[in-house]
Structure 1
Amino acid sequence: MTKRELHLNVNALNSGFHGAAWRAGVSDPAAFLDIKHFLEIARIAERGTFDAVFMADIPVITGLPRLRPYQALEPTVVLSAMAVVTETIGLIATASTTFNDPYNIARRILSLDHASHGRAGWNVVTTAEAAAARNFGYRDQVPHHDRYLRADSFTRVVRALWDSWEDGAFVGDKQSGLFIDTDLVRPIDFQDEYHSVSGPLSLPRSPQGYPVLIQAGGSNDGRDLAAKYAEAIFSIAQTIEESVEFATDIRRRAAAYSRKGPILVLPGLSTLIGSTEAEVKRREEELWGLFPERAAVDRLAVLFRIDATRLELDRQLPDDIEIPANGDHTFAAATLAAARRDKLTARQLIRRLGGSIGHRFLAGTPQVIADEIEAWFVAGAADGFNLMPDILPHGLSIFVDEVVPLLRAKGIFRKQYSGRTLRDHFGLAIPERQPKAPPAEAIQNT
């Protein structure tokens, strides 16, 4: 049996995860628009033999733009630039199934995959923000369950398009003059209540079969979508027990769909690292001193869709707060669970979550960080982590230089890459082609 290996991605969240990251002395406030900033993140992560760089995306100005940066640059554009300055690290882009069309996404992600020689992945999201809906002609957000029904259809279309070229379809034979064997390139003729797509795609199959499919929803609908299609899952968990429950549930659902092969569970983890406990405390105090906690209260109010005046910094959340029916179920549920479980005041909750929402925030020395990662890994609570350093790229450099060597010494993390594709890094097999619909006529030369 092959020994389990820890997987690490870095989430390239503009200036960093902490709410005050952009104001830190080592930060550039304009970094969220600077391609050089993101390229440096990719180089550092590859130096640390990370599996991938991941880029989140929401097609709207979101969060608290008056007080902190947001994800402004389109992910596939940035990741394509990263592909040029790196050789091996994976490149994972977020793209919404609610506010895109399947053909464009299939083409865009597979283009990134070919440009990087098989290093791409697609993070499938449905996008919960109502403001985003209004950017795409919707008066209101599409209901939660309907978004996931569309996402299921969307994903099936994309996979069919990625499989629309048989192996050997590209010939490029100068002697015979045959460029593409069109008998091996066929339409998909997909049609249901959500999508009507003829196909085929304009690109041959990926060097890694097709780009790795990742999913990040934690609701019941999100878990079911992940169990059907995802090969890796970006999850949220504050405790080992929560993460074990999540992983167990996903694999139970996957078995019900007759899924075979691994599904990697990769919780989000934000880190703040200091060489000593005193330095950790000093760095924390510096960042919190730059962070307007009342602004974080406003963000909590948006998450739960309540009036911000109902939240007081030094009181627990009101008892009647619930997960919004058509909001972001994943982050709302994780944030509310953390508050209820430990009876946290709004201020304590904000600090527990690094001034953000949902994900675990861990401050400590390199040894503390490495030991916590090992504990989750050994317990089966995580196959790895989607890392979100407090400040980028500064916090990532510290992790690579001081935590990665400890993980290697523990024998759970690679010392060098053993393959070149994202599937190689994740230990995933090249996927079999999807079962085909009744044969359609091959495309004609026109």
Structure 2
Amino acid sequence: MAHTAYPQSYYAASANPIPARPELNGEVETDVCIVGAGYTGLSTAIALLENGFKVSIVEAAKVGFGASGRNGGQIVNSYSRDIDVIERSVAPKQAQLLGDMAFEGGRIIRERIAKYNIQCDLKDGGVFAANTPKHMKHLESQKKLWERYGHTQLELMDAKRIQEVVGTDIYAGGMLDMSGGHIHPLNLALGEAAAVESLGGVIYEQSPAIRIERGANPVVHTPNGRIKAKFVVVAGNAYLGNLIPELSAKSMPCGTQVITTEPLPPELAKSLLPQDYCVEDCNYLLDYYRLSGDNRLIFGGGVVYGARDPANIEAIIRPKMLKAFPQLKDVKIDYAWTGNFLLTLSRLPQVGRLGDNIYYSQGCSGHGVTYTHLAGKVLAEALRGQAERFDAFADLPHYPFPGGRLFQVPFSALGAWYYTMRDKLGI
């Protein structure tokens, strides 16, 4: 079988040491078989192992190969659709449960980093940057909403104040969330994989799940082996393919692009982001950026519906970077890559079970770093018989994209065009 390597990203080039992990050969029995060694799978495994379960993970490529090892590295609270949207869609008790969980993922990340001594360049502080006065009004409402759920580490910033933390004059203001922050995402995944193994879990790489045999004791088949389990957790997200057709019908892989500069002189790096916070703007198709541990600017944005790889990523993203920081016009781009995330029509995650023993979580819709860590804890609770928080997610309404899979891409692109024009026009 062909060996799938990491993409040529800055994260792969600067990763901590990566141990060799075996392929699955032959038959294994376990309590829980997890499909996918990204954040969802790793977080679920840690929570289960800490509670005495025997866990095996099958990964098609390498730990953190997908979105977990390619994303912008930002710890951002809540969901891709915020709590106010949830409040309008579900009953008050369900909304309260989901609202209470909206800020838990970041805490789980920090707890894991501390408990398992994960070296991943953790920095505190995240900025939501308002491109327009309308965005600023949204942030004012968001602050009140989040404070209603007990989240108080927030500061509204006017145009003058935001220039103290972001070295550009393009923003009308913003909001600082000191419980946000940023990490080296692949090193976080690698550290969590090491935690899984320290607790007795086993990770099989280069072992794609090609079939799940359903029944009282489900069996996950790979090209050269099979794992018989009491439970299966499906955590493949945008890299799941058509393994489970009923899941792929309600979601769509999308690509986002990231570039990384050469290392910047310390004084230049500090002039861009003096407090070393990460930043995302408030556009529908947002830009996001931060400094790496070695003073590179990591800048991402854009969406390619259907997850095609653009021919020239730098040509797409570099103009966005220069709009914010024209002083970087002569700076060399050392890395450019794309990665896929899974979009749902509601932009809320899809959580549930198939039969009695196959559980899944998918569709973070671009907001996955914190949510996936929460999801792992919630999935583990459900397998232990504590399903209240799991059910709060599982009961969210979800629908297939209009027109089925054939029209997923044009429908979503049209919607994105509409919201992008609203952003540009300020309406």
TM-score norm. by structure 2 comes to 0.29
Larger Rg: 1
| Structure with a larger share of its residues in strand | 2
| Structure with a larger share of its residues in helix | 1
